[in-house]
Amino acid sequence: MTADFEEQLRAVSLRVTRPRLAVLAALRDHPHVDTETVIALVRAELPSVSHQAVYDVLRALTDAGLVRRIQPAGANARYETRVGDNHHHVVCRSCGAIADVDCTVGHAPCLTASDDHGFMIDEAEVVFWGTCPDCAAETTPNDQRARKASR
Ligand SMILES: [Zn+2]
Ligand SMILES: [Zn+2]
């Protein structure tokens, strides 16, 4: 597993360091987490790594294209290691949970704008907003009545 990450780092001419490997592993296991969560995950493995070091690693990995940074409107930036496929996200308005949504029509079709206005388009951002199953279950009126009754 880490051998893969070492290869990825070398492929983009980044030195292989333990903090970089730890950030990649944290994001593989916990996609779409914010900076604070990445810091907590990395420091659980490597307590000596500073906050600033994690910020620097995230920026270096994002700049190198190994990590994708997404920022839904009104939310903190989130990071993931699934890069290069222009996949979309569905975000819960209530708790902020995020899940991946593949392009529905073949390979990265959303890069084909109906009218590109002469732009060289290299990225399209589509965010689906809604309520996740957990939050939906909590706000179902029947559910609330049932819970009150059981108290
Ligand atoms: Zn939710
Ligand atoms: Zn994603």
Question: pTM score, two decimals?
Answer: 0.79
Q: Which two tokens stand for residue 5?
A: 């990450």
Pairing between β-strand 127-130 and β-strand 33-34 as defined by DSSP bridges: unpaired
Say if residue 132 carries a ligand binding annotation: yes
Q: What are the phi and psi torsion angles at 92 (to 5°)?
A: -80, 125
Q: Going from the N-terminus, what domains does the chain have, and what CATH number goes with each?
A: 2-70 (1.10.10.10), 84-149 (3.30.1490.190)
| 67 CA → ligand 1 middle, Å | 24
Task: Show the beta-strand stretches assigned E in the chain.
Answer: 33-34, 68-70, 78-80, 88-92, 98-101, 127-130
pLDDT tens, 80-128? 999 988 788 999 999 999 999 887 655 555 666 678 788 887 777 788 9
pLDDT tens, 33-88? 999 999 999 999 999 999 999 999 999 999 999 999 998 888 889 999 999 887 88
Helix (H) or strand (E) holding 30: none
Burial pattern 7-38, b for ≥16 Cβ within 10 A else e, equals ebbeeeebeeeebbbbbbbbbeeebbbebebb
| 48 CA → ligand 2 middle, Å | 29
| 147 CA → ligand 2 middle, Å | 34
